[in-house]
């Protein structure tokens, strides 16, 4: 397939996923039932070399479920809120 066509179809570089610590691990671990422990998933993320890229991706995409970059949806929501406040403050000044 033509590289330019691929760039048009998939504009975001997702090559970081090839280096993800969760690659090949049961994904159910990262999407636990409500109230289930996230400790194992977060431990895998903590040792992952692309944790930052994963977290940034999840925040940009508005991922609402699962552990991404070592954080739950509630934790990511807090970051989104903080970033929005900073963006509004920057626009205002």
* Contact indicator for 21, 48 with CB cutoff of 8 Å: yes
CA angle 64, 56, 7 (to 5 degrees): 100
Contacts of 20 (CB under 8 A, 6+ apart): 48, 50, 54
Bridge partners for 68 per DSSP: 71
**For the chain, which ranges sit under pLDDT 70?**
1-12
Residue 32: how many CB atoms within 10 A of its CB? 17
- Output the pTM of the full model: 0.80
Q: What is the number of structural domains in the chain?
A: 1
pLDDT at 1: 45
pLDDT at 13: 80
Question: What is the residue range of 83's domain?
Answer: 3-92
pLDDT digits (tens, 9 = 90+) for 22-39: 999 999 999 999 999 999
pLDDT at 14: 86
């Amino acid at each position: 397939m033509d590289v330019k066509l691929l760039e048009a179809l998939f504009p975001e570089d997702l090559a970081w996923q090839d280096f993800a610590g969760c690659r090949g691990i049961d994904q159910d671990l990262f999407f636990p039932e409500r109230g289930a422990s996230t400790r194992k998933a977060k431990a895998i993320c903590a040792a992952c070399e692309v944790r930052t890229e994963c977290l940034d991706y999840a925040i940009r995409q508005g991922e609402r479920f699962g552990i991404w970059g070592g954080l739950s949806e509630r934790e990511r929501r807090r970051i989104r809120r903080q970033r929005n406040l900073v963006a509004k403050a920057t626009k205002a000044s």
